Amino acid sequence: MAAVLEAGPLPDEPTGDAATSGTPSAPATLTPVPSGTGLKPIERLTSDTRYAKIIPDSQQLTALQYSSLFTRTFVRSDFNFCATKISVARGGKLRALDKTLRETSDWFTKALAWVEQHRARNLPWPCETIELEVKRPLTGQLVRCLSQYERLFKRAIETRNEQKLGDERCSAMIANAEKKLKHIVQVCIPDNDQYDADGNRRES
């Protein structure tokens, strides 16, 4: 159902705004555990070496459960890239990321509330579980958005399967949800100096 996300640019080296002090931890080792989702287990996240160089404000592991191909692709290809960019964001870029993540989470909250009004049955879904390293509060907000996407993905399909939601409406809702998450990647890409103090992108 969900489209595969095309990964955004992932530079091999930081562009002047990565942490350079302290002793970075080694990238986490992932243990693939097959399940009934049919999704290939994630063996390694892209940009794990770059993210390992970031010195955390407070470090924790957060478990994310997912059943969709979109979330698997986003986590494997884009999570560490976004988490690294969030960690080194300053000034206007930090404001832009904070606004984008809050607006995305609010959109998911409203979309979920609308879907839940149809009162479709909650069905058991096979899922994968991965532990994600969170070094900044905004990275935790990104994990929350991914969890909200998973909830919306499942509830939209359950509602469609009970014929309480049309195929086109279901597909459009999931596609819009994916666009919201892809937009976060786009906000992460420019360096800090590409944003004004108010969080708006500078004109080139």
145-174 pLDDT, tens digit each: 999 999 999 999 999 999 999 999 999 999
What average pLDDT score do residues 172-201 get? Answer: 97
pLDDT at residue number 162: 97
| Size (the chain), residues | 204
The rounded mean pLDDT for the chain is 87
Report the predicted TM-score, pTM, of the whole model to 2 decimal places. 0.81
Greater model confidence, 23 or 45: 45
SS3 102: helix
Residue of 128, 124, 112, 98 lying closest to 35 (CA atoms): 128
Q: How far is CA 119 from CA 34, 78, 113, in A?
A: 31, 33, 10
| Domain residue extents for the chain | 61-194
pLDDT tens figures, 91-126: 999 999 999 999 999 999 999 999 999 999 999 999
Q: What percent of the chain has pLDDT over 90?
A: 77
The amino acid that residue 50 corresponds to is R
Cβ distance 201 to 190 under 8 Å? yes
